Amino acid sequence: MSDTTTAPVAYADFVDLERYPIHDLGSERGRAFVASCKAEMDATGVCNLVGFIRPEAVDAMVQIAGELADKAWPMDRTHTVYFEKPDESVPESDPRRHEVRSAKHGIAYDYLPEDAPVRRLYESDDLTAFIAAVLGKDKLYRSADPLDAFQVTTFYPGEELGWHFDRSEFSMTVMYQPADSGGEFLYAPGLRTDDDENYDGVAEVLAGDTSGLKVLPSSPGSLAFFRGEHALHHVTPIEGDTPRINSVLTYGERPDMKLNDLTSELFYGRTSS
């Protein structure tokens, strides 16, 4: 039986390895853990690990967000769900033309201190291997984008994240601080595939159809991951006085994955090129 005391120091001080043995995937316990995550992904389209990050690390990330607030890019823009320019050649009801609002404050990867707890976790090969195992991938890579690979986002009252598909193949979120109310993460799992854009289905969600939507529960310290490239999702407007603070950790099957310049300008006010 594996000894959890041998876990890498990079994240062992703040990840609940007794419940979530990402450092020990080859053991019987590790294999059972991966199998349970796969089952949750198959059933809901998301794997949600409550209490993955310990409270002291959550508090540290909230503090970092406050200290770097002046570095956060204040975004309040409209965009399509594909983060492309609206296609004026299609009808107004087509999702390629439909625009939504996103308003948030994003702290880019290159501003976050190297010793920030969740940055240390993101840069660990163990976490990447765990995500790959759950997704059934032979190899997975952390994003090569120096701005977007790992970031911290604060949503203040009235801000929101409009409906969209991720540009990356897979994304992971870590919740630090939910809003008093609002700020729900809604998603439509598997709404499109690599072979079928399903524009009609996307248009139905944008028109208000909630029949296929799910809500991702979120509490401080929860880690969740999903196929954001195929799942249409958004964060509802924040209400109350407490901002919503979380991180997005980005992965893909290509080692050179980066945002396009349009999306980078939208999220960070600059590009990585």
What is the rounded CA–CA span in Å between residue 189 and residue 87? 25
Task: Give residue 257's pLDDT.
Answer: 87
Give the largest Cα separation in the chain, rounded: 61
Going by C-alpha positions, the residue among 130, 153, 122 that lies closest to residue 249 is 122
Task: Give residue 2's pLDDT.
Answer: 44
Task: Give residue 8's pLDDT.
Answer: 47
Mean pLDDT for back-to-back runs of 10 residues, the chain (273 residues): 50 96 97 97 90 98 98 95 94 96 97 97 96 93 94 98 88 94 95 96 97 93 91 96 96 88 88 83
Task: Give residue 3's pLDDT.
Answer: 46
Domain 28-268 has CATH 2.30.110.10: no
150-155 and 100-107 strand pairing: antiparallel
Q: What is the pTM of this model?
A: 0.91
Cβ–Cβ under 8 Å, residues 158 and 183:
no
Give the three-state DSSP class for 245. Answer: strand
